[in-house]
Amino acid sequence: MPTNNNPKPAVVLLSGGLDSATSAAIAQAEGYQVHALSIDYGQRHRFELESATRVAQALEVAEHKILTIDLAALGGSALTADIEVPQGRSDEQIADGIPITYVPARNTVMLSLALGYAEVLGSADIFIGVNAVDYSGYPDCRSEFIAAFEQVANLATKAGVEGKLKFQIHTPLIDLTKAEIIRRGTELGVDYALTHTCYSPNEQGVSCGKCDACQLRLKGFADAALVDPIEYQ
């Protein structure tokens, strides 16, 4: 729900996870009219996109687009290809290096699509929910990457080159811990029951509680002294 009568449009990448839901709520709190963009990149399960749709509805966004692109055809990741997702790894293991759940060029692809959408809308503002905890080795969640992409955005587009738009990639979560993200979202009224985080849910979409993503989420709620409203196996 927009907080003023003449809000500026912003494109918000919405995965259905906890972080992007918070990022969307922050964009609204900053007065933007949210045009949510979800990318179906061949995820092994559909629960993430269903969550994105529920989150978009709950936030009453101006528009929610879902674009399909078969990144799985390129291979190379446990999230899209037929590789087993690691479970029960220790914090040290999680912190050590880039996980096999890395999807090649994922954020570059997503930001490119968000850029095309933003240009069509006449919007200069793109929100992406990357953060230092989620980073856990993903190179395309770092501020150096975001800054370089912002450069590309302003050189790639008609609106950027003509000086009509100065594109900005907003990363409101980049320096927050998971607990801080959850506290901020809770203040803004985000319903985390609608979000999906698990890399390895069962057939009913119930989270495993053991994969890296579940562990980070559960630790975040614990550190924030809040209860995670979703069900676990």
Residues near a second copy (CB under 8 A) are: 65, 67-71, 73-76, 98, 102-109, 111-113, 115-117, 119-120, 139-140, 142, 144-145, 148-149, 151-153, 155-158, 160-162
Between 152 and 174, CB nearer to a second copy: 152
- If one counts every other C-beta atom within 10 angstroms of the C-beta of residue 4, the result is 9
For a second copy, the closer of residues 26 and 153 by Cβ is: 153
Q: In angstroms, give the least distance from the CB of 110 to a second copy.
A: 9
Least spacing, CB of residue 84 vs a second copy, in Å: 18
Q: Are 15 and 47 in contact (CB under 8 A)?
A: no
Q: Would you say 138 or 232 has its CB closer to a second copy?
A: 138
For residue 99, with 0-12 CB atoms within 10 Å meaning exposed, 13-18 middle and 19 or more buried, which class applies? buried
Angle value at C-alpha 57, between 51 and 61, nearest 5 degrees: 115
State the amino acid at position 221 in one-letter form.
F
Order of strands, sheet of 8-13, starting from the edge strand that comes earlier in the sequence: 32-40, 8-13, 125-127, 168-170
141 residue type, one letter = C
For the CB of residue 149, give the shortest distance to a second copy in the complex, in Å: 5
Cβ proximity to a second copy: between 38 and 200 the closer is 38
- Which lies closer to a second copy via its Cβ, residue 69 or residue 226? 69
Give me the residues paired with residue 39 across strands: 67
* Minimum distance from residue 119 beta carbon to a second copy (Å): 4
Q: How far is the CB of 232 from a second copy (least distance, A)?
A: 30
Q: How far apart are CA 56 and CA 173, in angstroms?
A: 19
Closer residue to a second copy in complex, CB, 57/68:
68
How many whole angstroms separate alpha carbon 1 and alpha carbon 214? 29
Q: Residue 101 CB, nearest distance to a second copy (Å)?
A: 11
Q: Which helix (H) or strand (E) holds 154?
A: helix 143-156
